[in-house]
Amino acid sequence: MSNIYESAEATLGFISSPCLTKVELRVACRGISDRDALSKPDPCVVLKMQSHGQWFEVDRTEVIRSSSSPVFSKIFLVDYYFEEVQRLRFELHDISSGNNGLRDADFLGAMECTLGQIVSQRKLTKALLKQGNTAGKSSITVTAEELSGNDDYVELSFSARKLDDKDFFSKSDPFLEIFRINDDGTESLVHRTETVMNNLSPVWKSFKVSLNTLCSGDHDRELKCTVWDWDSNGKHDFIGEFQTTYKEVRAEQEGKQIQWECINPKYQMKKKNYRNSGTVILNHCKIIKMYSFLDYIMGGCQIQFTVAIDFTASNGDPRNSCSLHYIHPYQPNEYLKALVAVGEICQDYDSDKMFPAFGFGALIPPDFKVSHDFAVNFDEDNPECAGIQGVVEAYQNCLPKIQLYGPTNIAPIIQKVASSASEEMHTKEAMEYFILLILTDGVITDMAGHTGSHRTRLPPAHVLSLSSAWATQTSQTCRYWTGTMGSCVHRRVNPSSATSSSLSPSRTSNTPLQLHWLRVFWQKFLTRWWIITTLKASNPSVCRTTRPQEPSVPDNGIHAKIHSNTRTHIYIYIIYIFFMYCIIHIHMQKHKYTYVHKQTCTHNHTTYYIE
């Protein structure tokens, strides 16, 4: 049942771009400089992607021991967005034996490019750079291939019998490589098994590979399988090879015994009585069907959509036009925009169109105690609202009756929805997919409680949050929807909640002009008394950019006392400009009539200054 969450992760319409394409990247290197004269490097390639000017690790290949021209079996799967410039960095490291970390690894070079360059050329080869200079004759080749529509996987398990012995004092150390023959005759490495030491009849571990990777969805495409005897110096001994197709491999499911003779062409030509260099046996073949989210919807799955709204004081006074909760007579505020944009998509997949709506961080009647999981319609027994319009009306009716407070705790809301999901899992049908939309404006104060809540024992439902500060504090790159279809921006998300996305329709990153003013104030304002954030010019309706002090989150800094609205920013700018103008004006008046023209004269090795 948990596969529905994996399917929705990739196919829900409101978190994918209309120009999204899945791309596979294969990496190979050549001419890697030896670490020393006695050994070859143990290379590993780390893929990084740039987001907001910083590099974040996406994935890394396996470590290939003692190889100066490695071909990595690890395939990088990345999302390609045609409308964006996606910068990639491939770093090559030499990782010593017994240590798979990068801390003690030797950096061998790097190559930077864009994903568009790789996709357009299909195969990109560039020199590796180290400290701005070419790292000897080292080069890296990245090959891109777009994934087709078939997302199914196949699980395979191989063994061998009576392989040739290539070692004098021990038996062979065999491993198996599987290559796909492309339309142009080239070979693409699909999988490399582990090495079974000192064994002529090895049994390799089972592995999973997508049909796109294995045969590009073509069941008749040829596959080349090669068996090698591993050597520590990287010069592996060839044992034999054979060719097959996925169509032939799939026949194992029908109960047929599938095996191939492992042939060494050199021995076959030289020896008349040569039969084979061993036999490779297919022990297991299992097709893993990957259902799309549409398959679940057409099968009767219902979406349970829940809304949680931030009513903390950091949103500003709802009576102030600069507040995110300001109810404008003619246009919706930012909370309503995000709510309607997401809710209208989800409600089409809910038969009863009844949506629970909760609030957190407010003092609620009648005793006005702070609550972090109250029903927006004030009916705790039935918090559901009729459609998105019902949620909007409940929100508008709730706002005048509560008092915005704090802090921003989301764990109680997540636990409440997780409890409902847990109850659903114990039913026979279990055909409901839970989506929790959290609309919040700033730093979440109970991240430990959020990540430690018992929802982690449940299938990973989606948690969407409108939050800028929380997203920039965490450490994994992801994408979030900006409130309009097809408009996606990179953000960073906590690895411990990898299913969470940040959704922010109004808060964007600082422009260069804003960063310049921020730098000017930080560097030149007298004694650096105030840290002032820049005015967000991207959305005039959102005037507030700094987060004021919440009741239970003390802040002794002077900047916390500055009410963060547009008027305050403008006043400070005017005072600062006037102050600088006065200094410049006084300085010019002082030197207006005392301008000195200095001239030098040298006589008898003595320099005189004549005014």
Read off the CATH number of the domain in which 20 is found: 2.60.40.150
Q: Inform me whether the pLDDT recorded for 495 exceeds 70.
A: no
pLDDT top residue among 606 and 126: 126
pLDDT (0 to 100) of residue 158: 96
CB-CB contact of 328 with 396 (8 Å): no
Question: Does pLDDT of 254 surpass 60?
Answer: yes
pLDDT of residue 152: 86
The pLDDT value recorded for residue 191 is: 95
Q: How far apart are CA 311 and CA 408, in angstroms?
A: 8
| 337 has pLDDT over 80 | yes
Judge if 535 and 396 occupy the same domain: no
Per-residue pLDDT, 162: 94
Lowest mean per-residue pLDDT among 157-166, 173-182, 546-555? 546-555
* Res 14: pLDDT: 40
Are 140 and 257 within one domain?
A: no
Least confident of 118-122, 217-221, 315-319, 565-569: 565-569
Domain assignment present for residue 596? The answer is: no
Task: Note whether 439 and 523 are same-domain residues.
Answer: no
| Residue 607: predicted pLDDT | 42
* Domain termination residue (choose one: 472, 502, 532): 502
CATH of residue 320's domain is 3.40.50
Q: Residue 587 falls within a domain, yes or no?
A: no
CB count in 10 Å sphere of residue 391? 26
- Specify the residue for token string 């560039």: 126
User: Which residues, other chains included, contact 417 with Cβ-Cβ below 8 Å and sequence gap of 6+?
Assistant: 306, 434, 436, 455, 461
Q: Is 588 among the domain residues?
A: no
Better pLDDT: 497 or 167: 167
Q: Which amino acid is at 168?
A: F
Q: What's the pLDDT at 420?
A: 80
Domain edge (last residue) among 288, 316, 349: 288
For residue 126, the model assigns a pLDDT of 94
Residue 427's pLDDT is 66
Mean pLDDT rounded to a whole number for the chain: 74
What confidence category does residue 497 fall into, taking pLDDT thresholds of 50, 70 and 90? very low
Confidence (pLDDT) at 385 = 94
Residue 606 belongs to some domain of the structure: no
Q: What is the pLDDT of residues 112-139, one digit of tens each?
A: 999 999 998 989 999 999 888 887 889 9
The better pLDDT of the pair 472, 83 is held by 83
Write down how long the chain is.
Answer: 611
Q: What is the pLDDT of residue 517?
A: 37
3-state SS record for 507-558: CCCCCHHHHHHHHHHHHHCHHHCCCCCCCCCCCCCCCCCCCCCECCECCCCH
CA distances from 382 to 339, 363, 374, 414 (A): 20, 20, 11, 18
- Between 248 and 292, whose confidence is greater? 248
Residues 403 and 546 in one domain: no
Q: Which of 500, 460, 456 is nearest to 479 (CA)?
A: 500
Q: What is the mean pLDDT of residues 199-227?
A: 93
The pairs formed by 390-396 with CB atoms below 8 angstroms and a separation of 24 or more are 390/355, 391/307, 391/339, 391/343, 391/355, 391/357, 392/336, 392/339, 392/340, 394/357, 395/309, 395/335, 395/336, 395/339, 395/357, 396/327
Alpha-carbon separation of residue 135 from 46, 110, 115, 348, 415 (angstroms): 17, 9, 23, 56, 53
Asked if residue 26 has pLDDT above 50, the reply is yes
Residue in 90, 78, 83 with CA at minimum distance from that of residue 147: 78
CB 208 within 8 A of CB 176: no
Same domain, 484 and 535: no
**Region 509-524 average pLDDT:** 39
**Mean pLDDT: which of 32-41, 229-238, 481-490, 600-609 is highest?**
229-238
Domain identity same for 54 and 108: yes
Q: Please report, as a single letter, which amino acid is at residue 469.
A: A
How far, in Å, CA of 516 to CA of 545, rounded?
17
Least confident interval from 240-244, 344-348, 486-490: 486-490
- From residue 569, give the alpha-carbon distance in Å to each of 491, 529, 530, 535, 578: 27, 15, 12, 7, 14
Residue 418's pLDDT band, with cuts at 50, 70 and 90, is confident
| 373 and 462 assigned to the same domain | yes
Percent of the chain with pLDDT over 70: 67
Q: Which two tokens stand for residue 359?
A: 């609030």
Using pLDDT thresholds of 50, 70 and 90, give the confidence band for residue 338: confident
pLDDT mean over 79-92: 90
Q: Is residue 592 part of a domain?
A: no
Give the pLDDT mean for 86-99. Answer: 86
| Residue 92 in this model has a pLDDT that exceeds 80 | yes
Who contacts 168 (Cβ-Cβ below 8 Å, separation ≥6)?
Answer: none
For 348-402, how does the pLDDT look when each residue is reduced to its tens digit (9 = 90+)? 778 788 999 999 999 999 999 999 999 999 999 999 999 999 999 999 999 999 9
Buried residues in 565-583 as b, exposed as e (16+ CB within 10 A): bbeebeeeeeebeeeeeee
State residue 334's pLDDT score. Answer: 86
Is the residue at 583 inside a domain? no
Number of domains in the chain: 4
Residue 601 forms part of a structural domain: no
Note whether 436 and 525 are same-domain residues. Answer: no
- Provide mean pLDDT across the span 419-435: 73
Measured between alpha carbons, how far is 533 from 564 in angstroms, rounded to an integer?
Answer: 9
- Residues contacting 364, CB < 8 A, separation 6+: 371, 374, 378, 401, 402
Whether residue 141 sits in one domain with residue 175: no
Between 411 and 545, name the one with better pLDDT.
Answer: 411
Domain hosting residue 240, numbered range = 153-288
Structure confidence at residue 524 (pLDDT)? 38
Mark whether 225 and 316 lie in a shared domain. Answer: no
Query: Which stretch of 335-339, 504-508, 592-596 has the lowest confidence by average pLDDT?
Result: 504-508
| pLDDT (tens digit per residue) in 526-573 | 333 333 332 223 333 334 334 444 444 444 443 333 344 445 555 555
pLDDT of residue 330: 84
Together in a domain, 361 and 481: yes
Both 49 and 117 in one domain: the answer is yes
pLDDT higher than threshold 80 for residue 169: yes
pLDDT value at 579 more than 80 = no
Q: Given this model, what pLDDT does residue 310 score?
A: 92
End-to-end CA distance of the chain: 91
Can you tell me the distance from the alpha carbon of 11 to that of 548, in angstroms, rounded to the nearest whole number?
Answer: 38
Residue 380 lies in a domain: yes
Find the range with the poorest average confidence among 31-45, 56-70, 143-157, 319-333.
31-45
Q: Which of 255, 288, 321 is the last residue of a domain?
A: 288
**Selected residue with higher pLDDT from 386 and 467:** 386
Q: Which residues of 168-206 are buried (b: 16+ CB within 10 A; e: fewer)?
A: eeebbbbbbbbbbbeeeeeebbbbbbebbeeebebebee
Examine the pLDDT at 13 and tell me if it is beyond 90.
Answer: no
The reported pLDDT for the residue numbered 55 is 94
**Span 215-230, average pLDDT:** 93
Q: Indicate the range of 48-52, 53-57, 150-154, 483-487 predicted with least confidence.
A: 483-487
Confidence check: pLDDT of 510 > 50: no
Confidence of residue 587 (pLDDT cuts 50, 70, 90): low
Reply yes or no on whether the pLDDT at 275 is more than 50: yes
